[in-house]
Structure 1
Amino acid sequence: MVGLEDVTSALVGIATFLVVLSYGKFLWRRAKMPPGPLPLPLLGNFLQLHFGGLLPSLIKMSRKFGPVFTVHFGSNPTVVVTGYEAIKEVFIDYGDAFLDRGSIPFMKRILDSKTMSFTNGYKWKQLRQFCLQTLKDFGMGKKSLEDPILEEIQHLVEHFRRLNEQPYDPSIVLSCASSNILAKILMSTRYDYSDEKWIKILQNTQEAFHIASSIWGQMFNMFPTMMSYLPGTHRKAFTIFDSFKDLLMESIRTHQETLDPASPRDLIDCFLIRIKQEEMNRTADTPFTLSYLVPLLLDMFLAGMSSNAVTQYFGLLILIKYPELQEKLHDEIDRIVGHNREPRAEERSQMPYMNAVIHEIQRFADVFPMGSARATTRDITFRGFFLAKGTNVLPMLTSALKDPTQFKTPEEFNASHFMDENGTFKKQDAFLTFGAGKRSCIAQSMVRLQLFLFFSIILQKFILKSMIDPEDLDISPTESSLENVPPTCKIIFMPRTSEGQA
């Protein structure tokens, strides 16, 4: 007769054998991939990544294992790519092989798998082509886009003037201004800076990005199944965009009731018209259905307004930290534009220092240092390593933006990175803030124009100061993972006179 003790021993033995077998297969698969730190069963490289900080740990690993290495977020392997040359190969040289979106469980959970950011293949191509064409139809890349941007910046200028030089944290109003430029194109709407409902949505958006960059967001990306059931701050993010989605759905219903197919007003109208066309043509496997519209709008809002507002905020802090930058920019603005009219887009080529400073703000602020994960669309041998179809790949943008082979002083703010010896603006191939290739930011021309007009007009109208001595002002990010989060700082907007003085 078999005793309970024998059964227990047998079960333990079988379980041990299965664990050893599973880990053996895991190590065999790992041997084919790029090198990296040895992962533990289930935990992967969590201990190395957690205690050293995610971003610093990955940068440190790249120094040890080279520009292409493997880490395990939990039990899921990810190939990390660092340095401009290797990232360029992923984005451009082998772009089609790395075109799919990789797994980012936390962002996918709080957004939707139907967003353009997380869609792949045919549906992604259809959505991207539609958005590119629609944005162009409503002014992107054309002079006509300048007017709504100038109008919104005028609202900002008046808002800052009404402060009467009182110290002020502009983070939310910058988000509101950036969102309004998008809202005009996407849904023919503008929100007042005192609109409590919209301000709450913007605050929720900021909080969601902060959670995503926190240890809670990182833990969810490593152990999504387990973290879905555990309590913690991350759970708040799961419903944080509900009010945003409700507002977008309300706007869609209004558009449906007032739609004139012969005269589309915005992207929502264009999408609704496309839905009707697809229904008439009975197109199979189409992304042009109502279920895709809210995720698409939310995706475009979050991608545009967050990055722009954070870049602007970092830029204001940098200009306060280094007041000599302000002096040089004031001189260039006064010389090229004067005080009687506002800067225009065509003057960007005549203002090389402003152009260089804005590019360096984007490089130095490094808003999304880890970029977005990609996935291989087919089996590929990359730099001597075999990557199977569906392998998660993380091109770390920060390692290109701070590549010492591309930038003379990568850890310092240095506008000369984008100027030649003659004082002319020069491009940098490693400036990958918008990504590159077929999956690069679709609205980058609009962002460039918005940043140029924002900094040019704000500096034409104001001198920027804070209550903290510039030498004591710490502009280091308070969190650095998915997003670099700027420190909170109250800024004094001191109006300039017609002679350019405060």
Structure 2
Amino acid sequence: MPISDCVLGFNPTWLLVAVVSILVLWLGTRKPQHLPPGPPTLPLIGNILTLAGGDVRSIFQKLRKRYGDVFSLYFGNRLVIVFNGYETLKEAFVKYGDDFSDRPKGLVYEEYSKRMGVVNSGGETWKVQRKFSLSVLRDLGLGKNVMETRIHEEVMSCLDAIMSKGGAPFDIHCIIHTSVCNVISSLSFGKRFEHDDPEFRTYMDAVNEGMKLVGGTSLGHFFPYLKYCPGDPLKLGVLATNDKVVRDFIQKQIALHRTDPLLQQADDFVNAYIQEIDRQETLNVENTTFFNDMLVGIIIEFFVAGTETTATTLRWALLYLCLHPEIQEKAQLELDQYFEKDHQLSMSDRRCLPFMEALIMEVQRLADVVPFSVPHAPPNTTQFRGFTIPENTMLLPNISSVLSDPDLWRDPETFRPERFLDDNGGVRREEEIIPFFMGRRICLGESLARMELFLFLASMLKTFTFRLPEGEPPPDLEGILGITRTPQPFQIIATPRQST
């Protein structure tokens, strides 16, 4: 064998494999005809460099101006189509909802989710599980007065935890996250946990860390070979560890519901689902989608979607109010005008608090907590506005393009709750406020989230005045963009209000 071949380790078979692989990747990034327009692609990597070094929301805004409301990109050899603007999203995901309501296959975290749950599933499984879950949640009081009892308990716990800080600076993230998480726990497991419960703390930390890690696996959706690279660049090992912590905790709670007589009497989601599993087993239902792993998947989604977005929105609200003390004072004056100091707020009080409602809508608009929803996919090749959308294409609804659209909102970068008030001071509800998205995949817990945002924020502002520590620069309002858009960590000071 020639010396050069020994040194280079030359092997004709591996050379052929390399050439074929490169050819396949290159062909995979060649745009077929009739796709939505988009920037030119590079062999192998597609348009990945287009998103380098900037806020994806701003980059998409520039691409929209150049290519229109529907444009296409390639990340590796995976086709991604981005939908922009309210009318486009409404047409695609409401009018043509049946064509665009599936989930793309081949995502990195499928290895852990197994496409279980309501958010991650598609097709008939999604329809059956969503219908059942929504029915049970409504029976448990979702959107009704009975749900207020669960939320009020956590509001009081949250206020007590804030009061315990004694006016010293602190990061409110943990308090809010635990309180909102306990609402979901009460709904799911029929019980709550103390803020300092070590097992629950470990569980919540794993959920929170897993959310960040899933956001960091995005490149793996488009370059799956990265998971085989040394050093675990996608952090899949850590993700697996956190996933096990989360699933073990939920499995334990489900097991307790099958053995503990007291928990078996609880009015909660786990009991309702276990009863459905047993019913379908008794009836020998073929091809049932009701089984233990599906229940675990749904509960994980409840905690991830039902905690992260609401808690993050509340943190953005407090940050904006600290930066705009005149708006905080206006909201507090409205509260003082109608309610005594010891009055426990209820959802029926919203009609007396139009500014508070406008404030919450403005926070949801400007915070832009879920800029791109969850990726959709067409189950079959579909036509839309004269474009061909191949099956299993990743579809991104750009919610941010609506919430920050200068054609819809004058000065969209300004925090101005008054934009949602009419000339008589009443609430003006704009259909373009879509933080929970729209269509068939609209957030299952929208009504619960609305209740939590109102009861938590109004109660906090009724009890405390919030400000940032003096002498410290305010956090960067660009935030941290992953699956959700979260504020940078910040310290806050809560001063009890002496008068109302």
TM-score normalised by structure 2 residue count: 0.91
> 1:405 and 1:197 mapped to 2: Cα distance?
49
- 1:77 is paired with a residue whose SS is strand
Quote the Cα distance in structure 2 between the aligned partners of 1:17 and 1:227: 21
> Aligned in 2, Cα 1:475/1:109: closer, same or farther, shift over 3 Å?
farther
Q: Which of the numbers 107, 110, 134 marks the counterpart of 1:108? A: 110
C-alpha separation between the residues in 2 aligned to 1:28 and 1:187? 49
Q: Superposed, which structure 2 residues align to 1:93-492 within 5 Å?
A: 93-103=95-105, 105-213=107-215, 216-230=216-230, 231-232=232-233, 234-235=235-236, 236-258=238-260, 265-468=267-470, 472-492=473-493
Give the 3-state SS of the residue equivalent to 1:81 in structure 2. Answer: strand
Larger displacement relative to structure 2 (45-54 or 13-22): 13-22
1:64 is matched with which residue?
Answer: 66
The residue type paired with residue 489 of structure 2 is T
Partner of 1:78: 80
Q: Residue deviations 1:192-232, cap 9 Å, x none?
A: 1111222232223332333344xx43322321243354423
Aligned-pair distance for 1:42?
2.5
Question: What is the alpha-carbon distance in structure 1 between the residues aligned to residue 262 and residue 155 of structure 2?
Answer: 30
8 A contact 2:29–2:42 mirrored in 1: no
Cα distance, 1:459–1:28 mapped onto 2, change above 3 Å: closer
Judge conservation of contact 1:84–1:403 (CA < 8 Å) in 2: no
In 2: Cα distance, 1:246 partner to 1:14 partner: 42
Query: In the TM superposition, what is the alpha-carbon distance from 1:270 to its structure 2 partner?
Result: 0.7
Write the letter of the residue equivalent to 2:284.
R
1:166–1:492 CA contact under 8 A, matched in 2: yes
Residues 261 and 324 from structure 1, CA distance in 2 versus in 1: closer, same or farther, beyond 3 angstroms? closer
Q: C-alpha separation between the residues in 1 aligned to 2:213 and 2:17?
A: 41
Greater shift in the superposed pair: 129-138 or 198-207: 198-207
Taking structure 1 as reference, are residues 44 and 145 closer, same or farther at Cα in structure 2, changes over 3 Å only? same
User: In the superposition, relative to structure 1, how do residues 367 and 416 fare at CA in structure 2: closer, same or farther (>3 Å)?
Assistant: same
Q: Secondary structure at the match of 2:466?
A: strand
Q: CA deviation at 1:494?
A: 0.5
Residues 1:142 and 1:197: Cα distance change in structure 2 (over 3 Å): same
Partner of 1:495: 496
Q: Deviations over 1:41-91 (max 9, x none)?
A: 321212222334544333322222111011112110011111111111122
Which runs of 5 or more residues in structure 2 are unaligned? none
* Equivalent AA in structure 2 for residue 483 of structure 1: T
Cα distance, 1:17–1:165 mapped onto 2, change above 3 Å? closer
Q: 1:10 to 1:461 in 2, by over 3 A?
A: closer
Per-residue CA distance 1:384-443 (angstroms, 9 max, x = gap): 201133322111111111112221222221212321222111111111100111210111
Alignment check: 8 A CA contact 1:220 1:228 kept: no
**Change in 2 beyond 3 A, CA 1:461/1:261:** closer
SS at structure 1 position matched to 2:212: helix
Does the 8 Å contact 1:370/1:394 carry over to 2? yes
Higher deviation after alignment, 257-266 or 157-166? 257-266
* Partner amino acid, structure 2, of 1:342: Q
Question: How big is the shift at 1:14?
Answer: 11
The aligned amino acid for 1:220 is G
Assess if the C-alpha contact under 8 Å between 2:39 and 2:47 holds in 1: yes
Provide the identity percentage. 26
Amino acid at match of 1:493: A
Distance 1:377 1:17 in 2: 29
Distance 1:8 1:327, change over 3 A: closer
C-alpha spacing 1:9/1:143, structure 2 compared with 1 (3 Å):
closer
Q: Which moved more, 1:39-48 or 1:296-305?
A: 39-48
Q: Aligned partners of 2:449 and 2:199: how far apart in 1?
A: 25
TM-score of the aligned structures, taking structure 1 as reference length: 0.91
Secondary structure of 2:161's aligned partner: helix
SS state of the match for residue 368, structure 1? coil
Where does 1:6-45 land on structure 2 (aligned, <5 Å)? Answer: 23=26, 27=30, 29=32, 31-45=33-47
CA–CA distance in structure 1, aligned partners of residues 322 and 20 of structure 2 = 62
Residue 149 of structure 1 and its aligned partner are, at CA, apart by 0.6
Residue identity opposite 1:95 in structure 2: G
CA distance in 1 between counterparts of 2:257 and 2:293 reads 15
Structure 1 residues 10 and 185: CA distance shift in structure 2, 3 A: closer
Q: Is the 8 A contact 2:190 2:263 kept in 1?
A: no
Number of equivalent positions: 491
Separation in 1, partners of 2:480, 2:400? 14
Secondary structure, counterpart of 1:294 in structure 2: helix
Indicate conservation of the 8 Å contact 1:109/1:238, yes or no: no
Change in Cα spacing, 1:104 to 1:400, as seen in structure 2 (3 Å) is: farther
Q: Quick check: 447-456 or 232-241, which moved more? A: 232-241
Q: Which amino acid aligns with 1:66?
A: G
Secondary structure in 1 aligned to 2:341?
coil
Distance 1:364 1:310 in 2: 12
Tell me by how many angstroms 1:286 deviates.
Answer: 1.7
Q: Which amino acid aligns with 1:27?
A: R
Deviation at 1:260, TM superposition (A): 8.9
Q: State the Cα deviation string for residues 245-303 of structure 1 (Å, max 9, x = none).
A: 11110111111123699956211111111011111222222210112111111111111
Matched to 2:420, the amino acid is: F
Closer, same or farther: CA 449–44 of 1 in aligned 2, 3 Å: same
Contact (CA 8 Å) 2:30, 2:41: kept in 1 or not? Answer: no
Residues 240 and 495 (structure 1 numbering): CA distance in 2 closer, same or farther, change over 3 Å? same
